[in-house]
Chain A
Amino acid sequence: AQSVTQLGSHVSVSEGALVLLRCNYSSSVPPYLFWYVQYPNQGLQLLLKYTTGATLVKGINGFEAEFKKSETSFHLTKPSAHMSDAAEYFCAVRSSLGGTSYGKLTFGQGTILTVHP
């Protein structure tokens, strides 16, 4: 079984400050990890994903995340927050096992990011 824990349901930063959203996963096999962003009343948009290879993954809108196997973490960062970053962020994991054919995503509970002027 796999699971995702996002530490902090709400994170508040000032514009221009570092954004750090935490995600820890549990998986018995090497995972595939995703960060999605959801703006109010909209669907989910993929920010970035980790599959294999380089553990530092760069995504859209200046976000990046680092896969740390030893810490079972995949934290999302952005050096300088912008007002437009205010949204809800979901970390998700998918098992690398080929068992199911549809690739079920397991989502964390989400972190709401607020950016203050």
Chain B
Amino acid sequence: DTEVTQTPKHLVMGMTNKKSLKCEQHMGHRAMYWYKQKAKKPPELMFVYSYEKLSINESVPSRFSPECPNSSLLNLHLHALQPEDSALYLCASSQVLAGVVPPYNEQFFGPGTRLTVL
């Protein structure tokens, strides 16, 4: 299984709502990533988890709260978002060797969740 799955595919939420995005992979990858992609722009890294621990937070506002409950699952909890947070949210995973992600290892991306904040 070489897939990264993401649910839901589409999400519309109001600024006062709380929602969660889910990402799952069964490739045994121990590094997982959240990216945000605005229209006609490249993906921007938000968070990195390595061995279920948050390794990197790219100065993301606290209204985005990641969680990695186990080695296959990555969540992104959303609360009090702004309309400018509307974007495609991509999850990715990568193999870890000896505690690091080798630079030659690619990241496997999921199909994304299209988020619209009203």
Same assembly: yes
Residues of A within 8 A of B (CB): 32, 34, 36, 41-46, 49, 51-52, 90, 94-98, 100-105, 107-110, 112
Closest residue on chain A to residue B55 by CB atoms: A102
Closest residue on chain A to residue B45 by CB atoms: A104
- For the complex, would chain A's binding face be called helix, strand, loop or mixed by DSSP majority? loop
Query: Top 5 closest A-B pairs, CB basis?
Result: A107-B42, A103-B101, A43-B109, A51-B104, A44-B109
Partner of B50, one of A42, A95, A101: A101
Closest residue on chain B to residue A46 by CB atoms: B106
Size of B's binding interface in residues, CB under 8 A: 32
Given A44-B90, A90-B42, verify A105-B101 contact (CB < 8 Å): no
Complex interface: chain A residues within 8 A of B110 (CB): 43
Complex interface: chain B residues within 8 A of A45 (CB): 109
Q: Is B25 an interface residue, CB under 8 A from the partner?
A: no
Q: Give the distance in Å from the alpha carbon of A105 to the alpha carbon of B33 in the complex.
A: 11
Q: Is B105 an interface residue, CB under 8 A from the partner?
A: yes
User: Are B43 and A34 neighbours in the complex by a CB distance under 8 Å?
Assistant: no
Complex interface: chain B residues within 8 A of A42 (CB): 111-112
Knowing that A43-B90, A105-B45 touch, tell me 5 more A-B residue pairs with CB under 8 angstroms.
A95-B103, A98-B103, A104-B56, A105-B107, A109-B41
